[in-house]
Amino acid sequence: MDFTDKTVLITGGARGIGRATAIAFAGRGARVAINFRSNNEAARETVEMLSGEGHLAIRADISQPEAVRQMVDAVIREFGQLDIVVNNAGIFEPHPIDSSSYEAWQESWNQTLATNLTGAANVCYCAAQHMIRQGGGRIVNVSSRGAFRGEPAQPAYGASKAGLNALGQSLALALAPYHIFVGTVAPGFVETDMAIGYLESDAGAAIKQQSPLNRVARPEEVAYAILFLASEQAGFTTGCILDINGASYLRT
Ligand code: NAP
């Protein structure tokens, strides 16, 4: 996979899966813009890890529509083109139905959907306006196994990722005439800050045993699948949802 002369925007690119994806794209020749919400230090470290020149870190809260517009405009101003967008930023906040107040429930649903679903949809909208004029592009959305398997303590997260799957499929149909291809990856648990509390808890061993490989994914394994879906040769995968869960949840 060669991304020489390609430009990439990765939301939530400063840590975890986003960071691994940025490193993988830069290592294959791309110029990369990593978006982050607040962790300046992680963003600075990530840019320093990228091979090649001309990479960017852009602070923006993707749950805010105007911030998304400004972020995409800034990337296009700086790079002159935008070939690939990875909608990776996401949050996974507990709000169990049997012990959350109604106010906390509202807050979790609003924040989770605004980040994981509407935020990604707004990034798609702003990027697509440019990609349509440019004559093509690639969008890869980072969903989750939870969309299929359920998330008992984070139901808004499961719903947001199911919505993201549907968004990707609808946009694959709408954008194919413009040579814009849309793919989705659906990881199970991955070794990142988001999951570390669960993996190091008493439930950690059982989580690993969900896979016959007795482990969870490494961020680099998810990154590899993202690069595949973004590659020139993978255009006909448009609309697909690729499971990356070590056979921990099999669907037909
Ligand atoms: P992570 O380590 O928690 O990193 C999340 C990244 O998203 C951070 O860079 C964070 O920015 C950014 N972010 C969060 N909210 C944002 C917002 N409103 N605006 C801009 N950036 C925002 O997460 P991860 O594990 O790498 O997860 C990446 C994606 O994979 C998510 O969509 C997640 O749902 C999905 N996923 C993860 C797992 C897992 O087990 N880890 C499993 C399935 C799917 P800051 O650095 O500034 O905080």
Q: How far is residue 102's CA from residue 122's CA, in Å, rounded to a whole number? A: 28
Q: How far is residue 3's CA from residue 231's CA, in Å, rounded to a whole number? A: 8
Token reading at 150: 């359920």
User: What number is the average pLDDT over the span 161-185?
Assistant: 98
Q: How confident is the model at residue 15 (pLDDT cuts 50, 70, 90)?
A: very high
43-56: per-residue pLDDT in tens? 999 999 999 999 99
Q: How confident is the model at residue 121 (pLDDT cuts 50, 70, 90)?
A: very high
Q: Read off the pTM.
A: 0.98
Backbone angles phi, psi at 57, to 5 degrees: -120, 135
- Side chain identity, residue 224: Y
Whether residue 111 has its Cβ less than 6 Å from ligand 1: no
% the chain with pLDDT above 70: 100
CA 69 to chain CA centroid, nearest Å: 18
Expressed in angstroms and rounded, the spacing between residue 89 Cα and the centre of ligand 1 is 4
Question: Domain 7-244's class?
Answer: alpha beta
Q: How confident is the model at residue 175 (pLDDT cuts 50, 70, 90)?
A: very high
Provide CB contacts within 8 A for 241, sequence distance 6+.
Answer: 143, 165, 168, 169, 183, 184, 185, 186
What's the mean per-residue pLDDT of the chain? 97
Whether residue 246 has its Cβ less than 6 Å from ligand 1: no
Instruction: Give the pLDDT of residue 207.
Output: 97
Q: Which of 157, 178, 224, 249 is catalytic?
A: 157
Q: How far is residue 172's CA from residue 23's CA, in Å, rounded to a whole number? A: 26
Whether residue 1 has its Cβ less than 6 Å from ligand 1: no
Instruction: Give the pLDDT of residue 190.
Output: 98
Provide CB contacts within 8 A for 111, sequence distance 6+.
Answer: 63, 91, 93
Is residue 249 flagged as an active site residue? no
81-94: per-residue pLDDT in tens? 999 999 999 999 99
179: left (phi over 0), alpha (psi -120 to 50) or beta: left
Instruction: Give the pLDDT of residue 219.
Output: 98
**Strand spans (E) along 88-166:** 137-142
Whether residue 19 has its Cβ less than 6 Å from ligand 1: no
Token reading at 204: 């950690």
User: What number is the average pLDDT over the span 216-233?
Assistant: 98
Instruction: Give the pLDDT of residue 155.
Output: 98
Whether residue 160 has its Cβ less than 6 Å from ligand 1: no
Expressed in angstroms and rounded, the spacing between residue 87 Cα and the centre of ligand 1 is 10
Provide CB contacts within 8 A for 114, sequence distance 6+.
Answer: 63
Q: How confident is the model at residue 240 (pLDDT cuts 50, 70, 90)?
A: very high
Q: How far is residue 250's CA from residue 10's CA, in Å, rounded to a whole number? A: 28
Expressed in angstroms and rounded, the spacing between residue 227 Cα and the centre of ligand 1 is 18
The full set of domain ranges for the chain reads 7-244
Expressed in angstroms and rounded, the spacing between residue 132 Cα and the centre of ligand 1 is 28
Closest-CA residue to 18 (of 72, 97, 89, 71): 89
User: What number is the average pLDDT over the span 45-68?
Assistant: 98
213: left (phi over 0), alpha (psi -120 to 50) or beta: alpha
The atom of ligand 1 lying closest to the CA of 15 is 9
Instruction: Give the pLDDT of residue 208.
Output: 97
Token reading at 51: 């091979």
